[in-house]
Structure 1
Amino acid sequence: MSGSPHDLARRLADQAEAVCRRYLSNGRREGHYWLVGDVRNTPGRSLFVRLRDSMKGPAGKWTDAATSEHGDLLDVIREALGLVDFRDVAEEARTFLALPRTEPEPRNARRPVASAPAGSVDAARRLIAMTQPISGTIVEAYLRNRGITALHGPGSLRFHPRCYYRPDLHAPTEVWPAMIAAVTDLDGKLTGAHRTWLDPDGFDPIRLGKAPIDTPRRAMGDLLGNAARFGVPNDVMAAGEGIETVLSLRCVLPGMAMAATLSAAHLAAVLFPDTLRRLYIVRDNDPAGDGARDRLIERAEAVGIEAMVLSPALGDFNEDLRALGIDALRASTRVQLAPQDVSRFLASAA
């Protein structure tokens, strides 16, 4: 099937150098590899894409030596363009390969103009389509002000400059800038979105940069079992509640794939990739976090997955990062990891 992910990845691999020249234009060829800073086309040399089949592996596969992230050329297209829905990635790949669209519409067909039901997956998809990458925006400033400076692989996060907010059904609609997180299933299909409305006037130490409204965080779509994802999981991953919590931990575990489930209830129900062998449960230090931890340990062990708990010293890992600093966070994380994961995932001190 020409539209399957495997077939698209194979076809792209046949033209690996051309793909790199298009989507990783800040890199260059050296021997049988394309070198660039990262999968988001940053200048540098830490990521290498194999351009030809060899004893070391097939063409089109890439590895980032700095973060241990890896993938294929479909991942390159997704990250370089900031796409979140696999359907959009596949259409971009088909366009590059000059393949026909999967569902061509009749020439005179007219698409119905109908609003998506509030809170639905369609509404989430439309919201994501109106966003832009976070680089240079208030979202990047918000995260950095919360101590999150290692913003590698933030493809799940987007920026909306004027995101609608309504306190209740009878109140007028307001607009605020917002951090938008794409929520996806295990196959990368968009199932929902999470909004964090931000204060355009700057970072307030009380609200921590969130907009001065009653509910600055809201989610929409199909959330159960799904998550905002950072990195591609293999045999080891971590799952926690909040986006900022997960990103704080990823500052010291840059190569570990992580999932932010957005609440304790959803953390307890997160779905496991088939390849998963060890799950780190990133708990918040409260009764809801304890309940999610216990339920998730039970579910993981029932299917043969080793479950290990990462606990913060304070309320959550972002509070640890802000109050104690990254060196203290690195040290406390080190003693909670499986020994074989320390050298594999823990970032060394600068």
Structure 2
Amino acid sequence: MTGSASELARRLGDHAEAVCREYLSNGHRSGNHWIVGDVRNTRGRSMHVRLRSNAKGPAGKWVDEATSEFGDLLDVIRESCGLIEFRDVADEARRFLAMPRPPARDPGAERQPAAARASPEAARRLFAMSQPIAGTLAERYLACRGILLAARERALRFHPGCYYRDLVTGETQILPALIAAVTSLDGRITGLQRTWLDLAGSGKAQLADPRRSLGNLLGNGIWLGLEPGAPVPVMAAGEGFETMASLRVVMPALPVAAATSANHLAGLSFPPDCRRLYIAGDADAAGRHGIERLSRRAGEAGILAIVLRPQLGDFNDDLRHLGPTRLAAWLSDQLAPEDARQFLTSG
């Protein structure tokens, strides 16, 4: 029974205050309760966690008076860590409790149907658990890279405690992350990309692989400025979110798609009415291969493909070191004249 949800929740309840200090660190103790903003560890006072069992119920039960949400400490671990599947929540609970993993999983232990690992449903759940980037570490990270995007960019979210597992050692960490939705042309989330951030917000976390993607990525991308159903006669695409976000800083009206790899760039789907495609250049060999394949596919679809070349290593380097005005000037000669007039701004 050590693998069951009820047993794990009871054991966590025996250490309720320690659990709260670990996973709800933005709160504080007040009498027999831990007070915090919400189950995702936001600062505030609307959520109360019972620290000791009494006539009102067992330790570890909580309620959020602002939203009427309620649950137990397994929910706290799930939401504060950004976990999706119960097995991951259970593993994290066992880690905290210093319990061994069971030799086999009990299918009946899950309290809700679990999304398959790396599935589009898992991506949609994690995206829904995240919050808008305004005022967060993710916004600070983008600003440090010269990327100032409008709050209307619905593809971008922030999770303050996203679960990261070292694929070599199996050790886990809870770190803030920029969450970028990978969507199909109709706007449906099919996957996402997580970029774990250092706590200062000035860069990525010091990890072996601080960026990972999950879900159905082939044909889809991180779209900025795409309105599902709206015509997209002109667009830009490239490998890397920061590269494409940098182009959007100086061309804020141009829809852009960022692929999560060179192979996924090569397989990107085109809007049905697209007639001109700008592809962000990349000096990397794999990147060049993706550009060539995408250009060939565009030509076969009757779309004019034009490769844009940065002055430095990539367009984010150009934006950060040369500034938006010089980047816009550099691009003006590479765009079709009508596109330069319509889309370019000096920043």
TM category, shorter: 0.5 to 0.7
Identity of aligned residues (%): 52
Distance 1:224 1:138 in 2: 29
**CA displacement at 1:316 relative to structure 2:** 0.9
Distance 1:346 1:263 in 2: 26
Does the 8 A contact of 1:285 with 1:311 survive in 2?
Answer: no
Distance 1:317 1:116 in 2: 36
* Match in the other structure for 2:49: none
Which of the pair has more CA radius of gyration? 2
Q: Are 2:219 and 1:220 equivalent residues in the alignment?
A: no
* Match in the other structure for 2:159: 160
* Post-superposition CA distance 1:254-281 (Å, at most 9, x none): 1100001111111111001101111111
* Post-superposition CA distance 1:50-78 (Å, at most 9, x none): xxxxxxxxxxxxxxxxxxxxxxxxxxxxx
Distance 1:166 1:295 in 2: 33
Distance 2:289 2:180 in 1: 25
**CA displacement at 1:326 relative to structure 2:** 1.5
Which of 298, 301, 305 is 1:300 aligned to?
298
Does the 8 A contact of 1:285 with 1:312 survive in 2?
Answer: no
Does the 8 A contact of 2:281 with 2:309 survive in 1?
Answer: yes
**CA displacement at 1:152 relative to structure 2:** 5.4
What amino acid maps onto 1:211 in structure 2? A
Distance 1:193 1:199 in 2: 20
SS in 2 for 1:321: helix
Distance 1:173 1:123 in 2: 19
Task: List gaps (5 residues or longer) in structure 1.
Answer: 1-110, 204-208
Does the 8 A contact of 2:134 with 2:151 survive in 1?
Answer: no
Distance 2:132 2:157 in 1: 5
**CA displacement at 1:170 relative to structure 2:** 4.5
Map 1:284-295 → 2, pairs under 5 A: 284-295=282-293
Distance 2:169 2:333 in 1: 51
Distance 2:235 2:153 in 1: 16
Task: Give the TM-score of the pair, scaled to structure 1.
Answer: 0.64
What amino acid maps onto 2:205 in structure 1? A
* Match in the other structure for 1:78: none
Distance 1:281 1:178 in 2: 27
SS in 2 for 1:331: helix
Question: Structure 1 stretches (4+) deviating beyond 3 angstroms?
Answer: 150-153
Map 1:63-212 → 2, pairs under 5 A: 113-151=112-150, 153-168=152-167, 170-203=169-202, 209-212=203-206
What amino acid maps onto 1:236 in structure 2? V
What amino acid maps onto 2:175 in structure 1? W
Q: What RMSD in Å do the two structures reach over aligned CA positions?
A: 1.6
Distance 2:321 2:169 in 1: 40
Distance 2:168 2:111 in 1: 26
Distance 1:188 1:202 in 2: 29
Does the 8 A contact of 2:259 with 2:268 survive in 1?
Answer: yes
Which of 294, 317, 320 is 2:318 aligned to?
320
The number of residue pairs the alignment matches comes to 234
**CA displacement at 1:112 relative to structure 2:** 6.5
Q: 1:172 to 1:115 in 2, by over 3 A?
A: farther
